[in-house]
Amino acid sequence: MGGMHTAGDLVLRMQLAKGMKIDEAKKYVADKLGITVEELCDPIVMSEIREELGLGLQLPKSKDAIAMEAKINIAKVLGIKINSVEVFKSRANL
C-alpha cells in the first residue's frame, strides 16, 4: 500500500494488532486521521498529515518526527498500544 509513503504502515498496524480486515482497518485509520479511505493512498495528502501529526516521513526534515518519536505519535493518533513504545518508556523511566 506504500508504507510511510502513504498510510500503509498504519493500516497494517491495525490488521496485526487487532485482526481487522482490510476495509475495516482502512476505515479505522481514515476516521482517526479525518480523511477518506481514498486519501489514505494519496502521498500528497498523507505527507502533509504525517508531517502535521508527526507520524514519520520518507523524506524527513530536521523538525520532523522519525523512528521512535513517530511511533509515540502513531500510538496516540490510532489509540493503540505499540509494544516498542511501551518498552522504550519503561526502560527510559518516562
Interacting residue ranges for another protein, rule: CB under 8 A: 1-6, 8-9, 11-13, 15-22, 25, 37-38, 41-42, 55-56, 58-60, 66-68, 70-71, 74, 81-88
Task: Say if residue 47 is exposed, middle or buried (CB neighbours under 10 Å; 0-12, 13-18, 19+).
Answer: middle
Contact (Cβ atoms closer than 8 angstroms) between residue 54 and residue 73: yes
Taking the complex as a whole, the smallest distance from the CB of residue 68 to another protein amounts, in Å, to: 6
- Specify the residue for cell string 523511566: 93
Q: Closest approach of Cβ 89 to another protein, in Å?
A: 10
Shortest separation between residue 87's beta carbon and another protein, angstroms: 4
